Amino acid sequence: MPTPPSMSRRSFLQGMALAGAMGAMTFRPLRAVASPGEAVAGRAQQAPLFPQAPLMQQPFALLPTGSIKASGWLLRQLHIQADGLGGHLDEFWPIVGPDSGWSGGKGESWEDGPYFLDGLVPLAWQLDSPTLKAKAMRFIDWTLEHPWENGMFGPRSNDDWWPRMVMLKVLTQYHELTGDPRVMPLMTRYFHHQLQALPTRPLRDWGRMRWQDELVSVLWLYQRTGDAKLLDLAHLLKQQGYDWQGMFAHFPFTQKTDADALRKQAGGSDAFMQDLGLQVHGVNIAQSLKASPVWSVASGSAADREAIHHQLQMLDTYHGVPNGMFSADEHLAGRSPSQGTELCTVVETMFSLEVALALTGDAALGDRLERIAFNALPAALTDDMWAHQYNQQANQVECSQHRQPWTTDGPESNLFGLEPNFRCCTANFHQGWPKFANSLWMATADHGLAAMSYAPCTVATVVRGTPVVVEQVSDYPFRQTVSLTLKPEHAVAFPLRLRMPAWSRDTRITVNGKPVKTTPGFTTVERTWAPGDTIEVVFDAEVKVERGYNGALSFSRGALVYALPIEENWVVWRKRGPTNDWQVYPGSRWNIGFKPDVPIAVSEHPVGERPFAGATAAVKLAVQGQYVPAWTSSEGSADPVPAKAEPSADEGSPSVTLVPYAGAKLRITAFPSLG
């Protein structure tokens, strides 16, 4: 039988296999699709889209996925991901293997396939890797070619709205990368179906808490089709979704929670009667950070848009830890640096901040995004990205099997491994680096371009109708200089904005060698840009001492947080195919405190092949401390930092070296203050 020209051989065979399995009556001809070559080749430079009325205007917009290519250390980091679990997980982990329900099999059919793709798709195109693209297309082709008759898509073994919310994020990125004509019709049919179905089959549990992530995709499609039904769906999602803004307006969760406390809280009021535990769940809260800004695009309310700031303030005040995150192991866990933060919570917070940064234009969200991306994200993975933790601790003195101090998590939670505690992070962490790379530059509402976070890359986009390329050369955050070279196709006038991190008191900017006046938040340079124009940015990174839980001291310099590395003894607990589950035991003393005004000497070293590896730390801080003998550990975790620390009288003042947080897999980040 000849293969119809509109179908790839593989998709045709898949279709026939399905027809065989389900009976000829259920086999429907597939809609025309791009040839595989066309679908995976990538697209030319595209102009970004901004919301039009009746949607609210926004200061910045993410560029279409694929507009920004990593270079320098960031490209090396993406290759490390691809050479590790990121590029090989499907080869030995059955959850996303050949039997995945998201590629037509009978295996796992819920969130893991979409989670994996949410990072695999942007990674594959970042690296322009035919192998990784083919891995992604196994799922994408199946999903696009097997919609249900009623408009649903995905595995038929469940009709849960939640995993589809993740797959929609995948499809929007994939469409931006390829222009595949199958994507928007499938999304349209699905959203129309959902508009009909939600009144009788409403959002529940995870989908109810994470409605804002679907709203991003609904608005994405509305901007491309103008389909008014999508705005109706936006309002319905808001109506059925959990009221995050309301919860944080009267934030009751100010303590470390445990299962008993959760039950008690839920008994008190209507708002918390349902979804027991979900409202203080770390990943839900990470995703909720985008809820108010994204909803503001539909509501038109500036108060909605700004609500994220109060939300972050509540999290910082009651659950903030030094790596830029909040504790949640599995549930909000207070400010002690021995509490954990889940890797899913890290990457979902990053994605929320990337979206919120565009919608609010608040430069402080960029500061926070960088702090998480350059510290909390790489800390939770081994330097080769073959193993990860479920929970990371700012003060992490041992990775071993203990039930304490987690609120509700299990004893494997801070081991490095394939799927410690629960498998969600194994599938979900992949989105961290590729989406961060995609958010480094954004379009501005006044038709310009903005550097939102800093890392080496090349952006290729269209500004005021002119193709523009900007090359960014930098070892930031390990160094403080960023060099930009503009390469517009021809001279073109537009505003170029540069985010000014709040920690840099005296940033210096020159354009073609001439100084430019800086302003807090963003510095705007408006001129006619010609090919070869250069911008040099030099940040002023001083060592900063911050106070946290029990007055503990933490050290940062620029976007990097510093930690005392503890000698690590890695012990294989069990073999997991090509990787291992590891326990890590301390081999050196860690109970040290510092005076708040202690002198600190900074030294810079080459940025290693593995940029965040502790063995080749690119920056070191030398500092003298004093031992605090009474500060010990129990159940594999450092006891809470003592508020009143007694330094040892007879052990002198040891000189120690602090390294970037992510490189120290055993570490102290929050130290007792001696005075």
Least gap, CB of 172 to Zn ion (angstroms) = 22
Q: Does 89 bind Zn ion (CB under 5 A)?
A: no
Q: Does 95 bind Zn ion (CB under 5 A)?
A: no
Decide: 397 and 633 in contact? Cβ < 8 Å. Answer: yes
Q: Closer CB to Zn ion, residue 205 or residue 536?
A: 205
Least gap, CB of 425 to Zn ion (angstroms) = 3
Handedness of CA 108, 110, 111, 113 (dihedral sign): positive
Identify which range of 103-111, 203-211, 335-343, 441-449 contacts Zn ion by CB under 5 A: 335-343
Q: Closer CB to Zn ion, residue 330 or residue 354?
A: 330
How many Å apart are CA 351 and CA 292, to the nearest integer?
A: 14
Residue from 268, 240, 258 nearest 165 by CA: 240
Least gap, CB of 660 to Zn ion (angstroms) = 24
How many Å apart are CA 260 and CA 249, to the nearest integer?
A: 24
Q: Closer CB to Zn ion, residue 380 or residue 455?
A: 380
Q: Closer CB to Zn ion, residue 27 or residue 422?
A: 422
Site mask for Zn ion (CB under 5 A), range 400-429, x = bound: ------------------------xx----
Q: Does 482 bind Zn ion (CB under 5 A)?
A: no
Q: Closer CB to Zn ion, residue 18 or residue 424?
A: 424
Least gap, CB of 9 to Zn ion (angstroms) = 37
Task: Say if strands 514-516 and 508-511 run parallel, antiparallel, or are unpaired.
Answer: antiparallel
Q: Which residue is nearest to Zn ion (CB)?
A: 344
Decide: 509 and 535 in contact? Cβ < 8 Å. Answer: yes
Identify which range of 35-43, 339-347, 573-581, 664-672 contacts Zn ion by CB under 5 A: 339-347
- The residue behind tokens 């770390």 is 282
Identify which range of 66-74, 112-120, 336-344, 645-653 contacts Zn ion by CB under 5 A: 336-344
Least gap, CB of 538 to Zn ion (angstroms) = 38
Give DSSP secondary structure letters for 45-102. Answer: --------TTSPP-SEEEPPTTSEEE-HHHHHHHHHHHHTHHHHHHHH-GGGSTT-GG
* Span 425-444, contacts to Zn ion by CB under 5 A: 425
Identify which range of 300-308, 327-335, 342-350, 391-399 contacts Zn ion by CB under 5 A: 342-350
270: three-class secondary structure by DSSP: helix
Identify which range of 64-72, 100-108, 140-148, 343-351 contacts Zn ion by CB under 5 A: 343-351
Least gap, CB of 168 to Zn ion (angstroms) = 19
Least gap, CB of 347 to Zn ion (angstroms) = 9
140, 344, 455, 525: residue in contact with Zn ion (rule CB under 5 A): 344
* Crossing angle for the helix pair 85-92 and 130-145, to the nearest 10 degrees: 60
Q: Closer CB to Zn ion, residue 145 or residue 342?
A: 342
Residue 13's φ and ψ, nearest 5 degrees, are: -65, -40
Decide: 78 and 437 in contact? Cβ < 8 Å. Answer: yes
Give DSSP secondary structure letters for 221-261. Answer: HHHHH--THHHHHHHHHHHHS--HHHHHHT----S---HHH
Give the count of residues interacting with Zn ion (CB under 5 A): 4
End-to-end CA distance of the chain: 83
Decide: 553 and 671 in contact? Cβ < 8 Å. Answer: yes
Q: Closer CB to Zn ion, residue 197 or residue 424?
A: 424
Least gap, CB of 342 to Zn ion (angstroms) = 5
Q: List residues binding Zn ion (CB under 5 A).
A: 342, 344, 424-425
